[in-house]
Amino acid sequence: MEISEIESFINKIPDHPKPGILFYDVSSLISHKDAFKASIDLLTELTKNYDFELIAAIDARGFIFASAIAYKLEKGIVMVRKEGKLPGKKISYEYKLEYGNDTLEVNIDLRSKKILLVDDLLATGGTANAAVRLIEKSGGLVTCFLSLIELDFLNGRKKLGVPIETLINYYND
């Protein structure tokens, strides 16, 4: 399956979650077995030039893609969750959003670990940047950020400071 065909399974929902936002919904893609499999195969291929021991997934849609990639590559997975969702001892990182503050957490020891960080979409880069900084604060090193979709026109990649791989790029919307 070609990337353009995979892309055709992504629904674009205007004014969600608020007016003026175009939401890229991967629900149709992940419910179509061939499109989902093809996206995982191609995303996995994008990781071949990177050295990593663990895959970290950003809450919540990042869990879907990271889990399938981790299974395929026989790697462990770390959940990067929103505040209050993980048990036990946690490391937290608070960051600013355009509408307030948020916090991400991990509860796994990442010291000296090389990490592939995965999410479904890279937009403004706020959450992805916070996840990179959280992993660094935890003693880990992000060797690559991987996403299914990148909204290039929002310049999120400029915030991360790590190599970035994306399968589908939108340059102007």
Give the torsion sign (CA, 18, 93, 139, 74).
Answer: negative
| 131 found inside a domain | yes
| 52 found inside a domain | yes
| 150 found inside a domain | yes
| 89 found inside a domain | yes
Q: How many domains does the chain have?
A: 1
Give Cα separations from 125 to 8, 25, 45, 122 (angstroms). Answer: 24, 18, 23, 6
Residue 62: which domain range? 39-170
Nearest-angstrom CA–CA distance, 168 and 4: 8
| 12 found inside a domain | no
| 76 found inside a domain | yes
- Would you write out the chain's pLDDT as a tens digit for each of its 173 residues? 999 999 999 999 999 998 999 999 999 999 999 999 999 999 999 999 999 999 999 999 999 999 999 999 999 999 999 999 999 999 999 999 877 899 999 999 999 999 999 999 999 999 999 999 999 999 999 999 999 999 999 999 999 999 999 999 999 75
Q: How far apart are the first and last CA of the chain?
A: 24
47 secondary structure, DSSP code: T
